[in-house]
Every structure is written in structure tokens, then in C-alpha cells.
């Protein structure tokens, strides 16, 4: 009995801060309420869900969320693999220095990162546009051009995630036993063959894990950047499902609709997570 008593604080905190808000959100999704304590919530049943499906912003937000996933994948899988392999070739104190430099953006607050990149991408005096003008491309208004604003948000978010992703991939590379690579060298495998047939299969659990995180957290991670830079614009070009929840709840003060959207999106992400976990079991190769 005594060991279970040590779990009580964790269980209480998890129930208070995780499961009770989930239950409360499900409950509020069946009511109309504007957050004012002087007004009683009005029971609507499933009307909030029906109204949500008729909202014209929802399809655009879902498509944008998928585009964010696509835009973040290079920063969470492809580039971290390249950087982790390059860092493994560096020895001594410089290896720790370069790892710290790459990881530094992770420590910056999202709003601070957004302001820094807003200055870098400023169409009049930004460093990036100065470089583009120097090479003859011309200045670009990144956050007011619908076709570019979403990808600008993805680049900024990916820049923040790159250090964390590189750290995870580096840990996965460290777990690969050197004997496999040495055996491949003895068998005459080239560097490309070792990467393709030895490193990639043994690194697959880490890469699938990063894919899962990217799919499930892309909307949440891009939200503060969207809120700080574009507020979902121009013309809803950068809005995603998380920003849509915020708009319903804290701009329109329609808590019922916001809760219904949260429940619906949670169900969709749960199905996606289960599917990805099953896919991970098939694609991942574990060292016996």
C-alpha cells in the first residue's frame, strides 16, 4: 500500500490539470456561454458541433495545419539528421560549442523569436530583404503576401525546433553501436551505403518519433508565432486549428463553439496519433 501513496500527488495533479479540464471542455461544448459569471450557460445539445461544421474558416484552418506539418518536416527530420551527423565528426570542446549554438533558439521565448524575425524579414529595412535585393530578387513583404506568410511562419517555427530535433537525433545516433558501422566498413560499404543501410534503419524509431511530434504539435507550436506576427492573416492565410480555437473562445467569446472545436480536433488528433503509432511499429527497426 505504501508505494501507491507516493503516486497520489502525481495522480491528483494530473487529474486536476489534465483530465478535469478535458471533462469540463466536453461539458461546455454542449452549452452556449460567453464567459461572464453573471450569465448562466444555455444548453444547446449538439448544435455547437453542427454550427462548427458550417463555419467557412474551418476547412482553411485544417488545410493550413497540414501545410504547417509539411513545412516543419525539413526542420524536424531532414536538417537534424544532417546536423547531427556533422556534429558527430567534431571532437573536443568545439562540439559542445556548436551544439549550444544550434540549441540556443529553443531557449528563446516564442514572442521574442517572432519579433526578431519580424525585424529580419521587414520589407523595408530587414536583413533578409537586403540580401534578396543584392542578388537581384527584390524585397518581399513576407507577412502580408498570402502565398508566403504561411511558409514564413513555418520557417520561424522550424528554426526554433531545429535545435531540439538535432538533440533528439544526436541521441539516437549515439545509441547506434559502432560495431555495425565498423562491420560495414570491413564489408566494403561506402559512406552513402552505411548511411542508407545501417544508420537509417537503426535511426528509424527516432525519426518516426519526430514525425509523430511534428504532426501532433505543429499547430500548437505555430500558434504563438501566428498570434504575434499575423493574427491569422492575411485573409486567413496563416490561421490554423489552434488559432481558430482561440478566436472562437477569446475574440468571439463563444466558449461553447470553441469547446466543441477543441473536442472535435482532439478526436481527430487522437485517431491520427493511434494511426502513427501503429505505423511506427511497422516502420521502426530496433537493435536486438
Distance between CA atoms of 68 and 157, rounded to whole angstroms? 9
CATH says 2-283 is which class?
Answer: mainly alpha
Cα 186 from chain centroid? Answer: 41
Q: Which pLDDT belongs to residue 288?
A: 57
Residues 207 and 77: beta-carbon distance below 8 Å: yes
Percent of residues, the chain, with pLDDT higher than 90: 47
Q: Which pLDDT belongs to residue 287?
A: 66
Angle at 27 between CA 26 and CA 30, to 5 degrees: 95
Peptide bond into 269 cis (omega under 30): no
Instruction: Spell out, as residue ranges, where the chain has pLDDT lower than 50.
Output: none
Amino acid at each position: 500500500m505504501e508505494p501507491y501513496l507516493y503516486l497520489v500527488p502525481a495522480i491528483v495533479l494530473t487529474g486536476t490539470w489534465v483530465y478535469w479540464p478535458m471533462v469540463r471542455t466536453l461539458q461546455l461544448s454542449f452549452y452556449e456561454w460567453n464567459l461572464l459569471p453573471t450569465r448562466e450557460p444555455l444548453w444547446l445539445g449538439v448544435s455547437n458541433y453542427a454550427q462548427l461544421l458550417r463555419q467557412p474558416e474551418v476547412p482553411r484552418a485544417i488545410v493550413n495545419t497540414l501545410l504547417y506539418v509539411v513545412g516543419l518536416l525539413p526542420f524536424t527530420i531532414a536538417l537534424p539528421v544532417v546536423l547531427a551527423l556533422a556534429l558527430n565528426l567534431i571532437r573536443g570542446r568545439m562540439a559542445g560549442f556548436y551544439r549550444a549554438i544550434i540549441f540556443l533558439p529553443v531557449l528563446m521565448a516564442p514572442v521574442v523569436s517572432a519579433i526578431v524575425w519580424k525585424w529580419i524579414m521587414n520589407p523595408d529595412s530587414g536583413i533578409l530583404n537586403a540580401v534578396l535585393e543584392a542578388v537581384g530578387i527584390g524585397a518581399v513583404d513576407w507577412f502580408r503576401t498570402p502565398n508566403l506568410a504561411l511558409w514564413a511562419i513555418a520557417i520561424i517555427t522550424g528554426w526554433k525546433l531545429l535545435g531540439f530535433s538535432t538533440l533528439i537525433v544526436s541521441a539516437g545516433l549515439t545509441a547506434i553501436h559502432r560495431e555495425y558501422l565498423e562491420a560495414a566498413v570491413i564489408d566494403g560499404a561506402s559512406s552513402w551505403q552505411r548511411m542508407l543501410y545501417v544508420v537509417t534503419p537503426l535511426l528509424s524509431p527516432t525519426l518516426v518519433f519526430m514525425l509523430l511530434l511534428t504532426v501532433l504539435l505543429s499547430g500548437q507550436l505555430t500558434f504563438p508565432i501566428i498570434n504575434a506576427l499575423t493574427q491569422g492573416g492575411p485573409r486567413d492565410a496563416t490561421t490554423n486549428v489552434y488559432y481558430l480555437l482561440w478566436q472562437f473562445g477569446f475574440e468571439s467569446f463563444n466558449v461553447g463553439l470553441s469547446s466543441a472545436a477543441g473536442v472535435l480536433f482532439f478526436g481527430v488528433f487522437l485517431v491520427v496519433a493511434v494511426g502513427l503509432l501503429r505505423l511506427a511499429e511497422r516502420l521502426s527497426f530496433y537493435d536486438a
